Amino acid sequence: MPVSPPPLDNLWLPYTQMATAPAPLTAVATHGVRIRLADGRELIDGIASWWTACHGYNPPHIRAAVSRQLETMPHVMFAGLVHEPALRLATRLAALLPGDLERVFFTESGSVAVEVALKMARQYWINRGQPQRRRVVHFRHSYHGDTFATMALCDPEDGMHALFAGSLNAEPMAELPEDEARRAAFADLLDDCCHEIAGVIVEPLVQGAGGMKMHTAATLAFIARACAERGILLIADEIMTGFGRTGRMFACEEAGVLPDIVCLSKALTGGTLALAATVARRHVFEVFLGEDARRALMHGPTYMANPLACTAANASLDLFESEPRLAQVAAIETQLHEQLAPCRALAGVAEVRVKGAIGAVELAGAVDLDALRQRFVELGVWVRPFGKVVYLMPPFIITPDELTTLTTAVVRVLEERAARRL
> Do residues 408 and 71 make contact, with C-beta atoms less than 8 angstroms apart?
no
Query: How many CB atoms sit inside 10 A of residue 412's CB?
Result: 13
Give the total residue count for the chain.
422
Q: Residue 81: pLDDT band by 50, 70, 90 thresholds?
A: very high
Q: What is the pLDDT of residue 352?
A: 98
DSSP-derived secondary structure letter, 264: E
Residues 410-418, mean pLDDT to the nearest whole number: 97
Neighbours of 231 (CB within 10 A): 9
Q: Which whole number is the average pLDDT over 216-235? A: 98
Query: What pLDDT sits at residue 163?
Result: 83
pLDDT for the residue numbered 164 = 86
- Residue 421's pLDDT band, with cuts at 50, 70 and 90, is low
pLDDT, tens only, 93-122? 999 999 999 999 999 999 999 999 999 999
Q: What angle do CA 390, 394, 397 make, to 5 degrees?
A: 165
Do the Cβ atoms of 307 and 65 come closer than 8 Å?
A: no
Q: What is the pLDDT of residue 157?
A: 80
d(CA 186, CA 192): 10
Q: Which ranges in 202-252 belong to alpha helices (H)?
A: 217-230
Quickly list H helices, 169-250.
180-193, 217-230
Residue 422, pLDDT score: 64
Domain boundaries, the chain: 27-55+324-418, 60-322
Using an 8 Å Cβ cutoff, are 295 and 288 in contact? yes
Residue 2 has pLDDT above 80, yes or no: no
Query: Does residue 411 carry a pLDDT above 90?
Result: yes
Distance CA 366, CA 346 (A): 15
Burial 90-129 (b: 16+ CB within 10 A, else e): bebbeebbeeebbbbbbbbbbbbbbbbbbbbbbbbbbbee
pLDDT in tens, 316-364: 999 999 999 999 999 999 999 999 999 999 999 999 999 999 999 999 9
Mean pLDDT of 10-30: 93
Instruction: Calculate what percentage of the chain has a pLDDT beyond 90.
Output: 93
What does the alpha-carbon distance between residue 312 and residue 273 come to, in Å, rounded to a whole number?
7
Mean pLDDT of the residues in the chain = 96
Residue 374's pLDDT band, with cuts at 50, 70 and 90, is: very high
Q: Do domains 27-55+324-418 and 60-322 have the same CATH topology?
A: no
Rg, Å, the chain Cα set: 22
Across the range 128-142, mean pLDDT stands at 97
Nearest to 281 by CA among 221, 205, 174, 199: 199
What would the pLDDT profile of 185-213 be if each residue is shown by its tens digit?
Answer: 999 999 999 999 999 999 999 999 999 99
| 8 A C-beta contact, residue 244 and residue 396 | yes
**pLDDT at 28 (0 to 100):** 97
What percent of the chain shows pLDDT beyond 70?
98
CATH code of the domain occupying 60-322: 3.40.640.10
Beta strands at 381-382 and 42-45: parallel, antiparallel or unpaired: parallel
Q: What is the pLDDT of residue 3?
A: 61
User: Which SS3 state, helix, strand or coil, does residue 294 take?
Assistant: helix
* The pLDDT of residue 5: 64
Q: Strands (DSSP E) along 265-305, which ranges?
A: 276-281
CA 414 from centroid of its chain's CA atoms: 26
For residues 136-144, average pLDDT: 96
Tell me the mean pLDDT in the region 258-262: 98
What are the strands, taking DSSP E only, across 65-148?
101-107, 135-139
Does the structure show a pLDDT above 70 at 235?
yes
Tens-digit pLDDT profile for residues 297-319: 999 999 999 999 999 999 999 99
The confidence score (pLDDT) of residue 416 equals 97
Q: What's residue 420's pLDDT?
A: 85
Instruction: Name, in order, each residue with C-beta under 8 angstroms of 159's C-beta and a sequence gap of 6 or more.
Output: 141, 142, 143, 210
Q: Which CATH number fits domain 27-55+324-418: 3.20.20.70, 3.90.1150.10, 3.40.220.10, 3.40.50.920?
A: 3.90.1150.10
Helices (H) and strands (E) in the chain, counts: 12, 16
On the 0-12 / 13-18 / 19+ scale of CB atoms within 10 A, 327 is exposed
Give the active site residues.
15, 143, 237, 266
Dist. CA 94–CA 359, nearest whole Å = 30
| Nearest alpha carbon to residue 393 among 53, 26, 35, 160 | 53
User: Directed axis angle between helix 217-230 and helix 180-193, to 10°?
Assistant: 20
Residue 241 has pLDDT above 60, yes or no: yes
What is the pLDDT averaged over residues 125-142?
A: 97
CA distance 380 to 36: 11
Instruction: Enumerate the H helices of 4-109 as residue ranges.
Output: 48-51, 60-72, 84-96
- Judged by average pLDDT, the poorest of 144-158, 229-243, 329-343, 380-394 is 144-158
Q: Which run of H or E residues covers position 314? A: helix 307-322
pLDDT at position 166: 82
